[in-house]
Amino acid sequence: MILKIRAAGEPVLRGRARPLTPEEIRRQSTQDLIALMRDTMRDAPGVGLAAPQVGLPLQLAVIEDREEYQKDQDKEALAERERKPVPFHVIINPVLTLESAADVEFFEGCLSVPGLVALVPRARSVRVECLDEKGESKVIRASGWYARILQHEIDHLGGTLYIDRMQSSSLSSMDNFARYWRGKTVAEVKRLLP
């Protein structure tokens, strides 16, 4: 079963999600939710999905950046974004620490803001303390695109969308992104924008 992804404008995307207890995490209903979120993320397809995006104000997100999502992308673009495959995993009750300034910009999209992308500044490296799908503590250190995914999904848990952080003049439809901006470096894009 695929869950309905909520679109910008729905109140659940703007509220603060509540933490889960280890007991709640281990419940079958939560384990079933994680599996449904994984399937929904893959069906979209996306690289992350937070519980508020499926209508549940819980501090839970699933993440996976599959190798197949990167196969048709330019190697230079992947290198510039520091993008590598990330295996499926779950983050619950995450606490994010930025380990660098929010000074790396790339185009970002969101399953809750379909059809649009924009340049979004993010920290290049982060540390995340969280619980996993078993309710066990873990620490994630990430850089590059993986750090961006983590920041994006954790933003959802606090009621923030990428459009709150974007460079507004860079907002583009996916069609126009493919037509005008894909394949250009961020520096080239910024030179061409008003």
What span, in angstroms and rounded, lies between the C-alpha atoms of 25 and 30? 6
User: Which residue in the list 99, 136, 153, 188 is annotated as catalytic?
Assistant: 153
Tokens for 80? 């510039």
Q: Among 92, 88, 61, 77, which residue's Cα sits nearest to residue 188?
A: 77
- Whole-angstrom distance, CA of residue 30 vs CA of residue 185: 41
Neighbours of 82 (CB within 10 A): 17
| Tokens matching residue 127 | 């540390």
Q: For residues 106 and 81, give the distance between their C-alpha atoms in angstroms, rounded to a whole number.
A: 8
Between CA 39 and CA 94 the distance in angstroms is 22
Report the distance separating Cα 54 and Cα 39, nearest Å: 12
Task: Check if 68 is active-site.
Answer: no
Q: How many other C-beta atoms are found inside a 10 Å radius of the C-beta of residue 99?
A: 14
So which residues are the catalytic ones? 153
